Each structure stands twice: as C-alpha cells, then as structure tokens.
Structure 1
Amino acid sequence: MYITFIHGWSVTNTSHYGELPQALRNAAQQNNINLEIEHIHLGRYISFSDTITMTDLARALDRALRDLPHNNNDTIQPFSAITHSTGGPLIRLWIQHFYPTESLHQCPLKHLIQLAPANHGSALAIIGKSRISRLKFLFNGTEPGLQILDFLQLGSEGSYQLNQQSQLNNYLDAGIFLTVHTGQAVDRTFYDFLNNYLTEPGSDGVMRAASTSLNYHTLTLRQTTSSILQHPPNLLEPDPPLQSPTHTIAHRIYNQYSHSGNDKGIMQSIQTENTQAPIVQDILAATRVNTPQDYQQLTQQFQQQTEQSQQGTNRYTMVIITVQDNEGRRLKEDEFDLLFLAGKNYAPHQLPAGFMQDKQMNPETGRITFYLNTDKIHNVPDDAIGLRINARPDQGFARYQSAEFRAQPNQVTQILHPNQTTYINIILHRIVDQNLFRFGTPNRGIIDFKNETPSNKPTAND
C-alpha cells in the first residue's frame, strides 16, 4: 500500500510531519502488518503564495500523483493518504474535481486519514493575514497565502460548495474509507499574541472538533408564498427535509493532542519510538479497514472512545447560516437580524446562559457561523428551539416579512449534534408590491406617479 502524507497550510518543509512516518513504520513491523510503509511520500506544496487557490493545488496534486514512480499519465495506483489541517479539504477537493459523485468509484484513493482537518474552516482565519502570520508556531514567520486563507474562513464560498457537492457521496460503495482524528487539547506555550480562538473550548487551538467532522447536515428552510399572506409569525418550512451523509464517517477525538507543536501536536509530538501512541495505533487500524463491516466496527470503536474522552467536558456544535431570497439574492450583514428562540412560546432570551460560545460573520459571503454548547442547547425549556429572522427592507415596494422556524422537540437532536456542523439555508420570499409597476390609461393625459405609495398587496405571481 502506498501512503502519501499531505501537509497543511503555509508549511515550508517536510519536518512538519515530525517522526510520525517513522513511528508508523516501526509500529507496522511490530504488529506484523503488511504495509508497504517504505513507499511513504512526504507531499510538499506551496500554499503561502497569494496567487494560489485551492483548485490550483488540487490540480497540482493530481499531476504530482501521476509523476510518482509507480504511476503514469493514465493511471494512479491505489493509495492511502494521511493529511493534516488544510491537507484534509485539499484532497477532498481533488476527489470532487477529478472524481465527482457519479465517477467516485473510479477514484484510486482507498484510505483517507485526516488529522485535524479544516473541513468546515477555522475560526482563526478571520483575524487577517498580517496578524495570523505572527503565529510562529504555525507559520514560522511565513506570510500565509491570501486565497487559501479565504477558503479557510468559516462560511467561505469554496468550503460551502465543496461540502454541499460531496455531502451525498457514498464513500463505502466506492471502496473509500474515511477517518477523522482531532484533538481537544490546547498548548498555550506557542501563542505569540492573545486571541480567544487560540484557547477555545472544544478545539485543538486551531480547529474546532465540530469543524473537522464529515458528519455534517444541511437544512433548507423556505418561506412559502402562502405563509406571507398569513398574519405573523410566518413559518419557515423544511424543503427539502434534513440532509445528512449517506453513512456515518468515523471520527475520533483525543484529550491529549493539540493542532501543532512538539509537546502536544497530533503529528509533531510523535517520536519514532512512540509506536503505542493512540494516534499511531488508530492510523494503523484505519489502514487495515478493507470492508464496510470493518469500517462500521472501527466507527463504533471511535465513537465509544470519543465519548470516554469527552466525559465531564462541554461539547459543541457549529451552525453555518445562509440567508437569501427566492430570487437567489444573498442578504448582507446589515439586511437581517437573527434571534434564537426557546420555550413553548418560542420566545427570545429563553436559552440558558452560555449556550452561544461564539458568532462570526464571513464578510465575503454574509454567512454567519454560530458555535453553540450542544449540551445546553439539548436542555432548553420545553425541548423547543427556533429561529426568527427579521429582514430589511420590511416595507416599501419590495420588502420582506419576518419569519420563524420552530423545531419540534424530536427535531432538536436531529438537527444539532455534538462535534458536528449543520448548514442552515434560509430562503425568504421577496414581496413585490402591486403598485411597483402600473399601466396608465392613455386618454387620461399626464399621470403623476411621483407620490405613489405601496398598496401593501403582493403581485398576483407572489
């Protein structure tokens, strides 16, 4: 089996992998595992140039794979990949670009083992290129690539499109076995300046556990034409129903690992002799998976181990919300307000204190990412939770009406899972007033419509 390592963002040399490759080689020999570990390839790519996009990297990755000695222009031999950080979404983008859903079974990748992947972005990316480059423990003084940084922001368009396009991929049917491994330890000795995201609970100091998971969900809430004719509140209806992956993706969370660093880093802390380290043993276990039955067993094992690791700690959910109207226009930050509702009357300000750990707006896409304490959300009053959106303009010739989504008690735990991300797409109906466009009677002479006012009646096609 060929194993390829793919590093993260703004790495400038292959020492980033630490001694993990050597530890894997030794552990495989100790366990009599027939793993062609000598064929490890330490992938290197340039991610610190401002002109480079993630798609550029995916195309370059394909060329680099074909240039390996055992491959050629026509064929890539079956291989496994171990990725770190940005390397995770990069190889997923390579899959989607060259082997989209309908040809997924042709993909030569057999095992994708992601370490602390940025599958849904990093909260740190928002703080800006100049400041983030001062995180010497991550970038060694190298300026991070701006377009890669844009992709890594929470709620970015690139990340959103990748996750929506690949959500229904059936990796098991295609013979691809994915595992996600991430820590929830924070190594405070590495930080060059203070920022709350560096010590955020439920994260490894860079990636939130919820942002690494490939067990994510999409809920589309639509304001119907019939609801806008009713008295408020106009209710948002799921359309289509909640979408989730075709099968559960194995996800393991560790107490002892952070994102980077020689002491706790999920890669760099591993020494050659650490053959019994949990991450080493789990990677080997992942490479031994060859059937859906093997995979299901490993998935259950990882779930049990994660539950043990998180006993007595808070667990978190990420919710990424897009607001647009029925014409496809995405609303900007100053055009709407969102309120969380709770209790039998679905009222604001009823959620428990501390339920929201963080809220971040992506300035390019207008998407809002909420970081929520899942355990507190699952204990809201009357097991009822909802959302209210007040959009602007709310009067005039073209306007919106406020709308609410009211989740039923059994829906809350289906929509919001610990250590996972949910995308919520809200589609409001833009109301066009009948008086916006009128034809006058020719024989009436000059018609003055300067002071025309809205009729407060929608057009018939609304």
Structure 2
Amino acid sequence: TVDAILRCLAISDAAGYAKLCGEFESENSAHQDVANRLEVEHVPVLPDREYIHDPHAMVVFRLLDSRGIGAPDVKVLLTAGPNHDPNQLPENFLADRQLNRRSGNLSFFLNHATLTGCPAIPGRKPGEIARKALVPRPPYGLRIVPRDGEHYVEYWMAELEADVANLLPLIAPNETTIIDIRMNRIVREGVYRMTRQLSPRSFKDAELGGPL
C-alpha cells in the first residue's frame, strides 16, 4: 500500500497518470483473478483461516433537496430481479454502509463479484472448492422511500426500475461512483391558510390537500 501511494505521489503529468492507471488496472486484474483470490493464513495450533478477496466498488449517493434546504430524510434501497425486490439481492452483496447526516451522503461498499456473479473459487488442494460459484440476480434498480408518513411538506417515493436503467453498468470494480439524487420537495395545499377565526385551532387531524 505504501509503495502504491509513493508511485502516485511521483506522478507529475497527465501521461504519467494515464500510465500508472494502466499499471494499476493490470495489477488488479492479476491479483483478483479467480485463481488468486484465496488467501490462507496459517495459525499455530488453530486451524488455518481462509479469506477470499473479491473486487469491490464504492458507490456514494449524494441526497439533494430540490430547493437546497438540507438533506432529504429518505431510505435508499437497492433492488434486484424482475420484481424489483430488495429481498432478492444476492447474499453478502453489501460489505459496509455509512451515512453522513450532515451532508446527506450515503456510501455503499459493494462486493462487485457478488453482484455480477463469480466462478467457483478453487481451494488449496487440486479439485477442492473454497467457494461455490456465485449466481447474480440482475437486473438491479433503486428505490427511494421517505422515512415519515404524509405531511404538508414531504417527499414522495421514487423508483428506478431495472427495466428503465440497470445500475450495474455504472458501477465498476475498484472504483468509486458518485450518483446525485435530487428529491423534489412537495408542498401540499393547506400548509398555510388565512382565516377570520381568532381562536387557535388544531390542524393535527386536518385532511391534506393536493400538491401545489
């Protein structure tokens, strides 16, 4: 890792940058070849530990409000399969997930091999299988769901179904992809109303009007 950082710091022009990108891509391809993904840690007394190093991808969703008023409080769900179901996503597709509430940035660290599928990983001995082949469950989509119920000022659910666009071509292994999601702030009729009545009145159970 330190050697890779030093190689990056030594770059001084665009040609050197392009050359180093090509070198990193070749090294990643060799290192992440199916035959080389298995790492065995020899532990004294205890059984050896096996680790499989799949290629991963970072996806950062930047949640934006259409009027620039804070970050929308919504849930971002990935979907899979013809029914666009989050429960159909392949097992272990998500390695990590983090939300920055101040900026509204939601980061997913995805196992790219799990999403695209992967042949069986050979074990240490000839004919041995360390992990069975991974079967993908495309196409993949995106669903955005507001966390609260209906309000005078709210967001509506949005969905990018797989038949409209497949997310997978946008997500490359060993890379970070930034996707901006701009949510329209919906203001309903009744959020503000003039009246001749001077006494206070609760609008807690008032019926919500249509969008303005």
Normalising by structure 2, report the TM-score: 0.66
- Read off the aligned partner of 1:429 and give its amino acid letter: N
User: Are 1:427 and 2:182 counterparts?
Assistant: yes
Alignment partner, residue 446 of structure 1: 197
For 1:189-228, list aligned pairs within 5 A.
none
Task: Tell me, in whole angstroms, the C-alpha distance in 1 between the residues paired with 2:13 and 2:101.
Answer: 43
For 1:48-447, list aligned pairs within 5 A.
183=1, 266-267=2-3, 283=7, 292=15, 296=18, 299-312=21-34, 313=37, 314-331=54-71, 335-379=73-117, 380-381=136-137, 383-407=138-162, 411-440=166-195, 446=197
* Cα gap change, 1:436 to 1:283, in 2 (>3 Å): closer
CA deviation string 1:275-321 (max 9, x = no partner): xxxx69x949x76x8774x7655543432222011113300011122
Alpha-carbon offset, residue 370 of structure 1:
1.1
* Cα gap change, 1:367 to 1:298, in 2 (>3 Å): closer
Task: Tell me, in whole angstroms, the C-alpha distance in 2 between the residues paired with 1:362 and 1:353.
Answer: 25
CA deviation string 1:84-129 (max 9, x = no partner): xxxxxxxxxxxxxxxxxxxxxxxxxxxxxxxxxxxxxxxxxxxxxx
CA deviation string 1:365-424 (max 9, x = no partner): 34221110011122432x211121211443121122111123459743431110111122
- Read off the aligned partner of 1:386 and give its amino acid letter: G
* Cα gap change, 1:428 to 1:291, in 2 (>3 Å): closer
% identity of equivalent residues: 26
Gaps of 5+ in 1: 1-182, 184-265, 268-278
* Cα gap change, 1:398 to 1:446, in 2 (>3 Å): same
2:61 and 2:105 in contact (8 A); partners too: yes
Normalising by structure 1, report the TM-score: 0.33
- Read off the aligned partner of 1:342 and give its amino acid letter: A
SS at match of 1:300: helix
1:339 and 1:387 in contact (8 A); partners too: yes
Count residues with an aligned counterpart. Answer: 173
Gaps of 5+ in 2: 38-53, 118-135
Task: Tell me, in whole angstroms, the C-alpha distance in 1 between the residues paired with 2:98 and 2:192.
Answer: 39
CA deviation string 1:149-196 (max 9, x = no partner): xxxxxxxxxxxxxxxxxxxxxxxxxxxxxxxxxx4xxxxxxxxxxxxx
* Cα gap change, 1:366 to 1:412, in 2 (>3 Å): closer
- Read off the aligned partner of 1:427 and give its amino acid letter: R
Structure with the bigger RCO (C-alpha within 8 Å, sep 6+) is 2
Task: Tell me, in whole angstroms, the C-alpha distance in 2 between the residues paired with 1:357 and 1:296.
Answer: 29
Task: Tell me, in whole angstroms, the C-alpha distance in 2 between the residues paired with 1:410 and 1:401.
Answer: 20
- Read off the aligned partner of 1:455 and give its amino acid letter: L
2:66 and 2:185 in contact (8 A); partners too: yes
* Cα gap change, 1:290 to 1:358, in 2 (>3 Å): closer
Name the one with the larger strand percent.
2
Name the one with the larger helix percent.
1
